[in-house]
Structure 1
Amino acid sequence: MLKGGAATGTIRTVLGDIPKEQLGFCHSHEHLFIAAGKPAKINSVLQIDDYEKTKDEIQVFHSLGGNAIVDAQPVGCGRMADWLTEVSRQTDIHIIASTGFHKQSFYVEDHWLFRWSEDHLAQFFINEIEDGMYIGADNCEPGTKIHAKAGIIKTAIEEDRPGLTAIRLLNAAAQASLESGVPIMCHTETHRQGVFAAEHFIKHGVSPKNLIICHLDRTLDDYSVHKQLAEYGVYLEYDTIGRYKYHSDEEEADLIVQMLDWGYGKSLLLGLDTTRARLKSYGGEIGLDHLKVNFIPLLREHGVSESSIADMMMNNPSFAFSQKTKR
């Protein structure tokens, strides 16, 4: 057993731990709620704060056979952990919440995340995983805690060569993962950042099977980097589906077919990385039904087997988001 009462192989959701076999059809990267704050000041689509609209979106997802969603908004920059807990209870959807940190630009300059030591940060992340998440910590140090616990450690880098603050945050996340057994998810903006993140965490002792590298499908001009990362043993998260400013879904499907042909089907996770502009209930473009209704049928048209679809949407997430043996 891990500290906090979770057995290895279980997944920590906001309503409690479940056996990984119960996760079901899972979107591996979404944003269900984001409070008004620094992210929304940078881009207004990063404000998702209407409870009923998000609930409606999740209910459509559930009606189509969806079972689970990973919410990738971490503490201190708009995470609404209390709403995640309540909407999970009302919709019967498993929600995995994030501790950790996002891009530094999403925080005010003197944010507590930037002032705390590496050890202090690591213990805080562990506390959110093992004892409960904090609310109201965007503009002040954490003080109010709820019972619901985080199930992943979100991290982010914005530079190909991260600075000292970013390294301290990454190291704290590595320490927290090693101590708790929960996986790390890392936001990246270039392939070079994806390689850096994977190599950095592995160097610090994190198992590749506890690493999820995000947004690797934003550019599709170099398949070799995808192959390199898959060879490291990390999970590759493809979440640019339906984001046509980057590329078409047909081009996304071509990438997935190539990865499957190379034998990396067990390394792939899919999501939509939703924003206000991408949720139908908020007047957006695609909605949480896009994978089920549009993209998975497109994969079938490209010859992708049902077993491969089950891996990407069910089997791989059940392993990727489960707690592993701590050090």
Structure 2
Amino acid sequence: MIRTVLGDVDPADLGVTFAHEHLLMTGDWPVMDEPDFRLDSVDSAVEEIAPARAAGLSAVVEMTPLGFGRSPRGLAEISRRTGVHVVAVTGFHKVGYYSDRHWLHRYSAEQIAGLLAAEIEQGMDEHGLVGPLLDRTAARAGAVKIGTGYHRFGRSVGKLIEAAGIVHARTGVPVTTHTDQGTGGHELLDALARAGVPGEKVVLGHIDHNPDPGYLAELAARGAWLAFDMPGRVKYAPDSQSVTLIAALHERGHSGRLLLGSDLARRSYWRSLGGGPGLDYLLTRFVPRLTAAGLGEVVKRALVTNPARAFSLGAGEER
């Protein structure tokens, strides 16, 4: 099953899925420090989703972790109003976004795992576990997130990886990741494997920021899911790079490990807020590029078949 904010759904019913998006980031100091991160309107999110929904979007993996003003009730409202499934996450971004006094640095792996598992099994806290009191919602998380820095894990990340392993063993949720510039993929898979998380339960986010087909093929061969979330954001690279990279991985037999998203985590990316490319870009602009390149079957896998497997609850899969 897939755990969404409105309840569990059959993987066969998930449909066209964007594997890395942000719909609500309502506050906390990273948002205050970077005002362009502030996505605090349910109405704007509903408006932003509408063209993508019309183009075929059925589900979104909402990757906003603790510490960014994640709103479970808001996500549930967005899902009800748009008809789009929303898979939410618990867990953390890279540790540079958290205060030196944050409890993630002070609590044990077992204590952290208990807090995160409760968000998956019972319901997410509306206020992101900032405490001291909880406001437990009915919306449950469907994945646990961890973030690593550029070529390094960062303070306390080893403990967070251990906690993610405990949560995975207890709940079966996948582990989704922020990999800075696509670095550290092997090191992250090694550490998660030691924590009991097989490659088949790991989604490597932003991995296409490291556009080395040999490197990515090695990660795919280890069972990891490769989340391509750069299309449309040409300040990083043109779409042609992503098309070429996807074709190279397909030729090497790894299209069964690809996921697609757009990671539009800024107001300036949303057309409903006067920016661009907009949430529908992936379906209306990038997918036609892949289809024209003879990669239509890869599109179906990356948007439908693969997400239904990647975000299912369970211990792993036979490959």
TM-score per shorter chain, which class?
A: over 0.9
Distance in structure 2 (CA, Å) of the matches to 1:325 and 1:215: 24
Equivalent-residue separation in structure 2 for 1:15 and 1:124 (angstroms): 20
In the alignment, structure 1 segments of 5+ residues that lack a partner are: 1-9
Whether the 8 Å contact between 2:177 and 2:204 is mirrored in structure 1 is: yes
Q: 2:204 aligns with which of 208, 213, 217?
A: 213
**DSSP-derived class of the 2:20 partner:** strand
Which residues of 2 match residues 96-245 of structure 1 at below 5 A? 96-137=87-128, 139-141=130-132, 143-220=134-211, 222-245=212-235
Q: Distance in 2 between matches of 1:103 and 1:46?
A: 16
* Cα displacement (A) at 1:58: 1.4
Larger deviation: 102-111 or 55-64? 102-111
Structure 2 contact 20–60 (Cα < 8 Å) conserved: yes
1:256 pairs with 2:246: yes
Work out the CA distance in 1 between the residues paired with 2:58 and 2:127.
28
Question: Contact 1:135 / 1:142 at 8 angstroms: preserved in 2?
Answer: no
Q: Deviations over 1:276-315 (max 9, x none)?
A: 221111112111100110000001121113x221100000
Question: Do 1:208 and 1:234's aligned partners in 2 also have CA atoms closer than 8 Å?
Answer: yes
| One-letter amino acid matched to 2:20 | H
Separation in 2, partners of 1:71, 1:142: 24
- Residue matched to 2:56: 65
What root-mean-square deviation, in Å, do the aligned CA atoms of Structure 1 and Structure 2 show? 1.5
SS at match of 1:213: strand
In the superposition, relative to structure 1, how do residues 201 and 136 fare at CA in structure 2: closer, same or farther (>3 Å)? same
CA distance in 2: counterparts of 1:203 and 1:283, whole angstroms: 45
- For structure 2, the residue ranges without an aligned partner over 5 or more in a row are none
1:195/1:316 CA distance change after superposition, 3 Å: same
Aligned length: 315
**Superposition pairs of residues 46-85 of structure 1, within 5 angstroms:** 46-85=37-76
Q: Secondary structure at the match of 1:145?
A: coil
| Contact 2:65-2:89 within 8 A present in 1 as well | yes
User: Is 1:315 aligned to residue 305 of structure 2?
Assistant: yes
Deviation at 1:268, TM superposition (A): 0.2
The C-alpha deviation readout for 1:178-200, integer Å capped at 9, x for no partner, is: 21101000101144422211121
Alpha-carbon distance between aligned partners in 2 of 1:37 and 1:200, rounded to the nearest angstrom: 29
1:30 to 1:193, Cα distance in 2 relative to 1, 3 A: same
User: How many Å apart are 1:142 and its aligned residue?
Assistant: 5.3
Amino acid at match of 1:83: G
Whole-Å Cα distance in 2 between the matches of residues 292 and 190 of structure 1? 24
Q: Quote the sequence identity (%).
A: 33
Secondary structure in 1 matching 2:237: coil
- The answer (yes or no) to whether the contact 1:186–1:197 under 8 Å persists in 2 is no
TM-score, with length taken from structure 2: 0.95
Deviations 1:167-223 (A, max 9, x none): 111110111012110100010114442221112112222121110001011132x22
Moved over 6 A (4+): none
- When residues 285 and 84 of structure 1 are mapped into structure 2, their CA distance, relative to the original with a 3 A threshold, is same
Name the CA distance, whole Å, in 2 between partners of 1:40 and 1:309: 33
Q: Indicate the SS of the match to 1:134.
A: coil
Q: 1:56 Cα deviation (Å)?
A: 0.6
Distance in 2 between residues matched to 1:216 and 1:108, nearest whole Å: 26
Q: TM-score, normalised by structure 1?
A: 0.92
CA contact (8 A) 2:28 2:67 kept: no
Cα distance between partner residues in 1 of 2:74 and 2:45: 10
Q: Retained in 2: the 8 A contact 1:38–1:108? A: no
| Cα distance in structure 2, aligned partners of 1:138 and 1:216 | 28
SS of the equivalent of 1:33 reads coil
